[in-house]
Structure 1
Amino acid sequence: MELAAHTWQELEEYLEETSLALVPVGSTEQHGPHLPESTDHTIAEALAQEAAERGDYLCTPTVNIGVSPHHKQFAGTMWVDAPVFRDYMESLVRNLTYHGIDRVVFVNAHGGNVEHLQEVGRRLYDDEVAYSVEWMWDNSIPDLVDDLFEQNGPHAGPKETSMVWYIEDNVREEKLEEARDGGLVDLEDAETMKHGARTFYDAVDNSGNGGFGDPTDASAEKGKQLFEAASEQLVHLCDWMAAQDAEDLMPASRVAERSE
């Protein structure tokens, strides 16, 4: 059920029977010359809505802007500071708990959000407010991603290109070769580690046009495979979380109490 599409009376009845919500989280940032800046939140929203429909779970509106300062040199990229993002996401979940939600899946499609969503989950867990987990779609299907693409890349590569192609057919096909040739195809060619230290902070330091991997290897057909497989994994995660007793999802008792 999409929360924003229903009235409060319809939601009041629905929320009496559910305890889990999916919160799609993405970004608005450059994705090379061939993909729209909506790429991450488009993917997150599509997956969350699909899983919510398949499993009859609640899906909230999408958080469209995340932690993206590492893409700031490219026109149009938007971001919020990491502490602000963490506080906002924590407040959002606390709002959901007011309505009876006690477990949340952050359906994430932006790598820059990962550590911050995990920190939010830790805060809520430690306070015994809610059980929240960060779920990154491509991390749920790593073998399929590796099988489909020889040079995937972590950003604006063939996996994201394929997903956008399938979800909304919004790929600049005439720009695919430019994205490959002007970007960084193989991460091993990036000279960004010096004596054990990572020496870069911004994407432009590695890729002149913001693309990574080989997007010419993308297709809508591959996007469908990725979307179906990731959706299935997300539904399985939601089913598992929904089946747990609430107290089992909260922190265990203190050591002294457990040893009695």
Structure 2
Amino acid sequence: MYLADEAWPDLGTYFEAESLAIVPLGSTEQHGPHLPEGTDHLIAEALAREAAERTGYLCTPTINIGVSPHHRQFHGTMWVDAPVFRDYVESFSRNLAYHGIDRIVYVNAHGGNVEHLREVGRRLHDDETAYAIEWMWDESIPDLVDEAFEHNGPHGGPKETAMLMHIARELVHEDRMTDARDGGRVELGADELREHGARTFYDAVENSPNGVFGDQTDATPEIGAELFGAASDQLVKLCEWLAAQPFADLMPDPHVD
């Protein structure tokens, strides 16, 4: 069920029977010369809508702009400051709680949102408003992602390219995938990003001239369909698990005597 498509009396029926909502979140930011700036929110929404369709749980409209200042040097990248993002998502979530939602799955497809969504989840958990958890599609199927690509890359790489080729192939500039690889950075070792234990960069452009990593030419729509199906399965299982938990068991434990 997609909230924005429903009339309010029908939503009332949902809230009487269920207490879980799926909230897709992403970003609007550069993803190299070959992918649209909406890559992250397109992936998040597609997965959230698929899970909602399969389970009957409520999917909200997508939060399209996230915490992306580390991509700001590239044309068109949009972002909000981290405190603003946290406050917005928290307010949005408390809105859902007002209608009877007490458990939320943040279907997130942007790494820059992770720590902030976890902080929002902690706030809602601490005051026992709701149990809200952050979920990243690629982290739900790490072995499959690793097996699919020799050079994966954390941003704009073959995993996101393959997913977009499956979800919205018409938005992928397939004729630019070689340029994306050759103009970006294929290998990205953890040791290269640190000096004497300190992280030495802030922005993506400091590590990749065109903003992306990995070998995009390894991506295919067939691999994208496999990744999408496997991640959707994990999201469905997560929603079903969360919905089955007694609310009291999800809330904070009492103070130790």
Question: TM-score by structure 2 length?
Answer: 0.98
Question: In the alignment, what sits opposite 2:13?
Answer: 13
Q: What are the equivalent positions in structure 2 for 1:99-118 lying under 5 Å apart?
A: 99-118=99-118
Question: Partner amino acid for 2:145?
Answer: V
Q: What are the equivalent positions in structure 2 for 1:156-235 lying under 5 Å apart?
A: 156-169=156-169, 170-188=171-189, 191-235=192-236
Q: What are the equivalent positions in structure 2 for 1:62-77 lying under 5 Å apart?
A: 62-77=62-77
Question: In the alignment, what sits opposite 2:138?
Answer: 138
Question: TM-score by structure 1 length?
Answer: 0.97
Query: What CA distance in whole angstroms lies between the structure 1 residues aligned with 2:205 and 2:107?
Result: 27
Question: In the alignment, what sits opposite 1:249?
Answer: 250
Query: What CA distance in whole angstroms lies between the structure 1 residues aligned with 2:68 and 2:191?
Result: 20
Q: Offset at 1:9?
A: 1.1
Query: What CA distance in whole angstroms lies between the structure 2 residues aligned with 1:117 and 1:32?
Result: 25
Question: In the alignment, what sits opposite 2:80?
Answer: 80
Question: In the alignment, what sits opposite 1:50?
Answer: 50
Question: Partner amino acid for 1:8?
Answer: W
- Residue identity over aligned pairs, in percent, reads 69
Question: Partner amino acid for 2:97?
Answer: T
Q: Offset at 1:82?
A: 0.3
Query: What CA distance in whole angstroms lies between the structure 1 residues aligned with 2:166 and 2:193?
Result: 33
Question: In the alignment, what sits opposite 1:24?
Answer: 24
Q: Offset at 1:190?
A: 7.8
* RMSD across aligned positions (CA): 0.9
Query: What CA distance in whole angstroms lies between the structure 2 residues aligned with 1:127 and 1:183?
Result: 45
Question: Partner amino acid for 1:78?
Answer: M
Cα deviation, 1:100-123, whole Å, max 9, x if unaligned, reads 000000000000000000010001
- After TM superposition, the runs of 4+ consecutive aligned structure 1 residues lying more than 2 A away are 188-192
Question: Partner amino acid for 1:230?
Answer: A
Cα deviation, 1:49-107, whole Å, max 9, x if unaligned, reads 00011111000000000000000000000000000000000111100001000000000
Q: Offset at 1:192?
A: 2.4
Query: What CA distance in whole angstroms lies between the structure 2 residues aligned with 1:24 and 1:144?
Result: 22
The number of aligned residues is 256
Q: Offset at 1:191?
A: 3.4
Q: Unaligned stretches of 5+ in structure 2?
A: none
Which one is further off, 188-197 or 103-112?
Answer: 188-197
Query: What CA distance in whole angstroms lies between the structure 2 residues aligned with 1:34 and 1:143?
Result: 25
SS at match of 1:255: coil
* Contact kept in structure 2, 1:190 and 1:206, CA below 8 Å: no
Query: What CA distance in whole angstroms lies between the structure 2 residues aligned with 1:87 and 1:113?
Result: 13
Q: Offset at 1:188?
A: 2.2
Question: In the alignment, what sits opposite 1:126?
Answer: 126
Question: In the alignment, what sits opposite 1:41?
Answer: 41
Query: What CA distance in whole angstroms lies between the structure 2 residues aligned with 1:191 and 1:230?
Result: 30
